[in-house]
């Protein structure tokens, strides 16, 4: 069986997988990081978004073997060790950007990548476009967009 060595949230692991093992399966089932969710499993809903080498990807549409040698960040890796939330998490809480919470890990990870790559700032419309790969069936997106907008100055001030 193939072996995969990858760094997840700063910790390096070597794991035996099958060729067909998805990255999200490795994260959830081998490493116990169940914050990353599987929603549609058809590459559309974005509940499984994580960062691989600094880019947001759908971990249900990437093989674990493709992540060999990569650095992965999941929702569990965003907050500081002392529990201080990432500004995006804090703004999701502040603006009530979730109801059932199922899509939230993917929303937050997608939003962090979106804001980090656009230091010039994003309009409301650009934020909405940037969330095309993430579906939420509860909120109607309004508070998610507000939270991301509010997180922009906090993230860029760092």
Partner 1 sequence: MYDFGYTKPSSLADAVAALAGDDEAKALAGGQTLIPVLKQRLNKPTKVVDLSKLGLSGITVTGDSVTIGAMTNHATVAASADVKRAIPALAALAGGIGDIQVRNRGTIGGSMANNDPSACYPSAVLALGATITTNKRSISADDYFQGMFTTALEAGEVITSVTFPVPAKAAYIKFKNPASRYAMVGVFVANGPKGVRVAVTGAGQGGVFRHTGAEAALSKSWSPASLDGVSISPDNMNSDIHASAPYRAHLVGVVTKRAVAAAG
Interacting residues toward partner 1 by CB under 8 A: 2, 18-20, 22, 41-43, 46, 49, 55-58, 61-63, 65-66, 68, 110, 113-114, 130, 132-134
Shortest distance, position 52 Cβ to partner 1, whole Å: 8
CB of residue 73 to partner 1, shortest distance in Å = 14
CB of 61 to partner 1, least distance (A): 5
| Nearest to partner 1 of 22, 144 (CB atom) | 22
Both tokens of 99, joined, read 């109801």
**CB nearer partner 1, residue 22 or residue 33:** 22
DSSP 74: -
Looking at the Cβ atoms of 2 and 153, the one nearer to partner 1 is 2
CA separation for the pair 69, 123 (Å, rounded)? 35
Query: How far apart are CB 46 and partner 1 at their closest, in Å?
Result: 7
Q: For residue 51, what is the enclosing H or E element?
A: strand 49-52
In angstroms, what is the minimal distance from the CB of 20 to partner 1?
A: 4
Q: Which C-beta is closer to partner 1: that of 75 or that of 93?
A: 75
Tell me whether residue 47 or residue 80 sits nearer to partner 1 (CB atom): 47
3-state DSSP percent of the chain in helix, strand and coil, to 5: 40, 15, 45
**Three-state secondary-structure class, residue 52:** strand
Burial environment of residue 34 by CB neighbours within 10 A (0 to 12, 13 to 18, 19 or more) = middle
Q: Say what angle helices 104-116 and 87-94 make with each other, to 10 degrees.
A: 120
């Amino acid at each position: 069986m193939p072996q995969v060595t990858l760094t997840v949230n700063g910790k390096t692991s070597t794991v035996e997988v099958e060729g067909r093992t998805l990255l999200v399966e490795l994260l959830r089932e081998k490493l116990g990081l169940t914050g990353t969710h599987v929603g549609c499993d058809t590459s559309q809903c974005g509940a499984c978004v994580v960062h691989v080498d600094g880019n947001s990807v759908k971990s249900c549409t990437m093989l674990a073997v493709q992540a060999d040698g990569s650095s992965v960040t999941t929702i569990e890796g965003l907050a500081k060790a002392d529990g201080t939330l990432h500004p995006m998490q804090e703004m999701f809480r502040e603006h009530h950007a979730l109801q059932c919470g199922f899509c939230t890990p993917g929303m937050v990870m997608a939003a962090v990548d979106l804001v980090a790559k656009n230091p010039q700032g994003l309009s409301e419309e650009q934020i909405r476009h940037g969330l095309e790969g993430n579906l939420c069936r509860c909120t109607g997106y309004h508070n998610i967009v507000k939270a991301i907008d509010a997180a922009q100055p906090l993230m860029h001030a760092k």
